[in-house]
Structure 1
């Protein structure tokens, strides 16, 4: 396409020539806006004057030439008001773009909502002069996208630099998982944990699409490619945590096996949350039948819009606290517990509603045996949900997870003993059932015993304590410690300052703070504390992905947006602005 030439006569519309990388554009001498080369037409320039500066329409050319001379003087002085104002506009554009990314919103919200809202507020509170300044902030769809891309690259540079050059002992750990987004694309997430500046940091390392299959070799290829591009050493990798998919855990060709070929000494972990879900999956026949009835009853009511409305009306008439039932979703960790708790709370309302429409289901809600099973499921699923919630979140180490799980397994044994003796006080809903027969009691006791066995099978860490030294170096038997660490351990145990510090700070922080004085033993302990124990960060990121890449935005490349949204590392906006050639909105 042929480029338009600037005509000196355009000054009568209030425009002077502006060169941007060899391309001529028009710049308004009144508001300093730069219009594109395509806008170098008398009709568009006149339209700008009449629309934005109607009070100056009809001014003589000499007036506009005086403004042009003042503008040119400001351009020559990089410390002048024009340069400073222009830089502030670009900074504001970056700040707003970052907020848009943090809130996981569409990029066009900047020009469709944020800017119009800001203009309306400024115009009414501060006046038209301030509104004119705000109007020059560039927030178009494409501008916001470019800003987010630049900030994401800057964040990635900072994280990679810290992992390679600033992490304590050069150690870092990974957690990985893959999931399918709304456009059926397989997205691979990788989070990294490392110690820098005396703090443990957890950051998104990369988000990348798996173009074809999602086998272990495909995941490995993505990780290898990233490590090669960023020059990250495999020798520094001390741990990898994944879910239980065969592609991740396969003994011969799983991802963890492939990684071990690169870093033989790393610790591989199967996500604690996934293991707990697998251990609690099996139900004895009686409890499973009760659970299936619950699911069928809820689906019958919820699958029909009319039934949903009628059931809500019934609950309102009976002054029930809740008016809606909850669907059961297998992939949601807390779904079972929330489902049965709501059904138990509304079991009378469900019995009334199903009485005429679905009598074969309603009859169960009149059966004491069924209600006993339902009450027990409410209590045991609530206990499992509480364990799950303890395992969620950032900044937790394997010692905490082992403690949570070991305590739960011990509780299961204690609960089984009590149930066998007819004591149900620890199960609040189950204890409310007045007549629990021996068959139900035995089934509950058997289920508790099965749960305890399954947890011990899925968590072999509970039967051995490999963290005695990490937990408390002042109580460990010196003979249990490796020979090369024993002398340094003796020095540490006789350091009164370290003993006082150990009493005041968490375990991980203790080993970080003494790392400079007792490097060997600190490195050994941090190699056990750094590895992730769950893939919770990945699962949380996939939830964010659903908001960022929605059906209306199904073609979006999410890598930059999700990095800005999830990263705790702030982009260096001032540095990014300095590198850009500032250009006001047009």
Structure 2
């Protein structure tokens, strides 16, 4: 992690990145992948960081193509904007803010929930920067909608939130609760460290297939996988709009994940080499793939070893191209999850009372906080080095 002070143009980012790479004596020609959050200073066609990196790599190795990907988790989160549910989101957020904004009113609401033996004892705030926030807020508001309606009536504010008595709006709200719940489940599957791109994209492809399935079911007025919407089944006037929303969401997923789709064949080849047709894979690995699929010992290894360990066990002289392709695919980052997590650790450590932290100290703290290595305290103690003689 490098500090960037002042401007953050593509040129500034490239200068810092190139300085680090050259300092660590890493060859540009070995660069396989760059993962970004899609900001313009990174992805600009002419002066963005990615364009400059690609030009630099081509200088050293004209045959090397760097795989540029947009964070899969970010893409999944952005897809929900196509649903056009602002007429539902805005009133729900306004309602939560109305209850939470004033301390007295918030305490009265909590006490009201306790007196009515509600299933929950509070409402969470909605935060745009939290991936799962909207789905959780919607679920909680839906489960407490009766209690919220009674509380608003008690406060004489029912007229400000007429949506809670609008049957058509409640149907849209129920649909939003269910689809955001499905999106949250997908998002959770995409989170975490040590996730290969092919595993993440498999979850995305499965979700795309589910959207087609959901759309077809709702068109037939079957709400098996929409537990909230089915409670409003009798009042739904137009199921086609929900089916269309799901079709639009599917199209948006296809559009946003087109960059990963381009390398899907390579992902499948590395993830499941034993089931691939040798005639459909790149020419340089066809014969090697046939040899691999014909070797019973390697088949047994594939089922018993981790994927990276399996490819590491392949004979380099016999399977040079397959090993090289696996190396390139298995090192790809599917998301910026690790970066986001590290930034969170950094923000925790940069508390106001530690505002005088130097860049070097912060870098050391982050290294300690994020490493998987366990210090050998016994060996350190035996060395006898003491920072303070009084200890």
TM superposition score normalised by structure 1: 0.61
Q: For residue 368 of structure 1, report the CA deviation from its aligned partner.
A: 1.9
Residue 456 of structure 1 aligns to a residue whose secondary structure is: helix
Query: Is the aligned partner of 1:446 residue 2:251?
Result: no
**Deviation per residue, 1:533-580 (Å, 9 max, x gap):** 100011111221222111222232321111100011345664797495
Q: Indicate the residue corresponding to 2:355 in structure 1.
A: 554
Query: Is the aligned partner of 1:458 residue 2:256?
Result: yes
Residue 81 of structure 2 aligns to a residue whose secondary structure is: coil
**Deviation per residue, 1:441-499 (Å, 9 max, x gap):** 22211211110110011112448533342133333232333333333333323322111
Q: Indicate the residue corresponding to 1:349 in structure 2.
A: 147
**Deviation per residue, 1:238-289 (Å, 9 max, x gap):** 11111111122222222222221232422111100111111112333xx321
Q: How many residues align?
A: 377
Query: Is the aligned partner of 1:294 residue 2:92?
Result: yes
Residue 208 of structure 1 aligns to a residue whose secondary structure is: coil
Q: Indicate the residue corresponding to 2:371 in structure 1.
A: 567
Distance in 2 of aligned mates of 1:475 and 1:315 = 56
Q: Which runs of 5+ in 2 are unaligned?
A: 59-64
Q: Indicate the residue corresponding to 1:521 in structure 2.
A: 322
Taking a change above 3 Å as real, the CA distance of residues 535 and 313 of structure 1, as seen in their structure-2 partners, is same
Q: Indicate the residue corresponding to 1:333 in structure 2.
A: 131
Taking a change above 3 Å as real, the CA distance of residues 375 and 489 of structure 1, as seen in their structure-2 partners, is same
Q: Indicate the residue corresponding to 2:269 in structure 1.
A: 469
Q: Which runs of 5+ in 1 are unaligned?
A: 1-206
Which protein has greater RCO, CA pairs closer than 8 Å, 6+ apart? 1
Where does 1:178-577 land on structure 2 (aligned, <5 Å)?
207-264=1-58, 265-284=65-84, 287-355=85-153, 356-439=155-238, 441-460=239-258, 461-462=260-261, 465-514=265-314, 516=316, 518-557=319-358, 558-571=362-375, 574=379
Distance in 2 of aligned mates of 1:372 and 1:245 = 36
**Deviation per residue, 1:44-72 (Å, 9 max, x gap):** xxxxxxxxxxxxxxxxxxxxxxxxxxxxx
Distance in 2 of aligned mates of 1:433 and 1:468 = 42
* 1:241 and 1:532 in contact (8 A); partners too: yes
* 1:379 and 1:428 in contact (8 A); partners too: yes
The structure with more strand, counted as a fraction of residues: 1
* 1:415 and 1:448 in contact (8 A); partners too: yes
The structure with more helix, counted as a fraction of residues: 2
Taking a change above 3 Å as real, the CA distance of residues 581 and 368 of structure 1, as seen in their structure-2 partners, is closer
* 2:198 and 2:268 in contact (8 A); partners too: no
Residue 467 of structure 1 aligns to a residue whose secondary structure is: helix
* 1:336 and 1:381 in contact (8 A); partners too: yes
Taking a change above 3 Å as real, the CA distance of residues 316 and 575 of structure 1, as seen in their structure-2 partners, is closer
Taking a change above 3 Å as real, the CA distance of residues 581 and 349 of structure 1, as seen in their structure-2 partners, is closer
**Deviation per residue, 1:186-243 (Å, 9 max, x gap):** xxxxxxxxxxxxxxxxxxxxx2211111222222222222222222222222111111
Residue 432 of structure 1 aligns to a residue whose secondary structure is: helix
**Deviation per residue, 1:144-178 (Å, 9 max, x gap):** xxxxxxxxxxxxxxxxxxxxxxxxxxxxxxxxxxx
**Deviation per residue, 1:370-401 (Å, 9 max, x gap):** 22222111111010011111010111111111
TM superposition score normalised by structure 2: 0.90
- Structure index of larger Rg: 1
* 1:515 and 1:523 in contact (8 A); partners too: no
